[in-house]
Structure formats: structure tokens, C-alpha cells
Amino acid sequence: MILYKVTATFEDFESTWTKEIGVFDNKEVANSIKEKWENFFKTKNSLFNEPDNWDTFKDEWFDEDDYEQYGFSWKESFQYNSLKSRYVVIYDFSSISIDEFELNSESFIDNFKHSEDVYKIMIEHDRDFKINKIIR
């Protein structure tokens, strides 16, 4: 049996992390769920668009002296940063993926190719484990 794990990935300037959305035994259902949440994040990302009525000079972080020297943009504003902190998961969203897994099968070695040397000793360990299991 094949299982489909749907996972969302998030990134900020320090790290990358994932959240499991769900595990399904039907690829069409997994694709539907993936599309649903991709649409959510794409649509809700508009929260960070500059509002038509945003007034640079009324922003809490606006400094007239700095403005004349450096300027002041929406992404530097108090309102923008407040939205980022309130909706950080939407802001940090990166992608959604579907991984296929065969039930009751091991994939650790194939998914853990850290280096050729580590891979070789993992293969040896796996072989020895299987031989010992047969012998006993």
C-alpha cells in the first residue's frame, strides 16, 4: 500500500521547518489537500500588500529626519511588521510537498545519503542485520 504524506515547509532568516498536513492512501485526495492549502497561503499572502490608504507620515515608526535621508517604505512600517508578527506562519510559508511512502517498508538508508562513507557503512550494517535475523 502506498501512502501520501502532505507537508508544508516554512522558512525565515534563521531556519526551515515543516508541518505535516496529513497522510492519505489516495493520491487524488492528497493532491486536493495540497491544492487547498497552497491556495490558502497564496491568497492570504495578500495581507502583506501595501494598503491603498496607508499613509507614510502617520505610521508609528515614521521618522521625518530619517525619511529625508533614507526614505521610508511600507515594508519598514509598523503596520507591516505588526501584520508579519500576527500572521507569521503565512509570511514564512514556502511550499507544500507530497511524499510517497510504501507501508511497512524501510527507506532510511535511501533517504539518508549524508556521505558516501556513511552510506557504505549503513549498507553493511543493514546487510548484517538481515543476515543475523535469518540465522536466528
Clarify whether residues 47 and 74 are in a common domain: yes
Give the list of residues 6+ apart from residue 50 with CB closer than 8 angstroms, or none: 74, 80
Q: Is the pTM of this model over 0.95?
A: no
* Structural domain for 113, as ranges: 107-136
Q: How many structural domains does the chain have? A: 2
Clarify whether residues 67 and 122 are in a common domain: no
Clarify whether residues 126 and 60 are in a common domain: no
User: Tens place of pLDDT for every residue, the chain, 136 residues?
Assistant: 999 999 999 999 999 999 999 999 999 999 999 999 999 999 999 999 999 988 887 888 877 766 666 677 889 899 999 999 999 999 999 999 999 988 888 777 777 767 888 888 888 998 888 898 899 8
Clarify whether residues 60 and 118 are in a common domain: no
Clarify whether residues 111 and 49 are in a common domain: no
Clarify whether residues 64 and 12 are in a common domain: yes
Report d(CA 97, CA 94) in Å as an integer: 10
Clarify whether residues 101 and 114 are in a common domain: no
The answer to whether 98 touches 15, Cβ cutoff 8 Å, is no
